[in-house]
Amino acid sequence: MSLGRALMRLREKRQRVEFRAGMIASGACDQIVMVCDVSAKGLGGITTGDAVNAGDRVLFVMPDMLEMTATVRWSIANQFGAQFDEMQDVKRLSAYDMHGAEDTLPRSA
């Protein structure tokens, strides 16, 4: 990865959230996930069932039934990060938060 691209990734802010969403993954059972952070490009979460693997295609079903497709980019045990196929509205995603958290997290490379 080039230095410029690495710096761009570090600047992207993630909104800390806490909400449940449905997830349908290729080759795994449907399950509920806890979404921990969101950005326009993706989300980080924790699975409650089968682990997902990098490269898995997933469909998220948000609390208001909005569906979005993504690719899992990393996975460690039951934690994962996924990149959306299309940019999303962070304000809409953060509105699902159960606690109304406003702090943001820098995205690690």
Class of the CATH domain delimited by 14-101: mainly beta
User: What mean pLDDT do residues 37-59 have?
Assistant: 93
Residue 5 is predicted with a pLDDT of: 53
User: What's this model's pTM, rounded to 2 decimal places?
Assistant: 0.78
- Please report how many Cα atoms fall inside a 13 Å half-sphere around the Cα of residue 67, on the Cβ side: 5
Residue 17 tokens, joined: 């959230």
User: Would you give the end-to-end CA distance of the chain in angstroms?
Assistant: 10
- Answer yes or no: is pLDDT of 58 > 90: yes
Other residues' Cβ atoms within 10 Å of the Cβ of residue 32: 12
Question: Tens digit of pLDDT for each residue in 68-77?
Answer: 999 999 999 9
Domain ranges in the chain are: 14-101
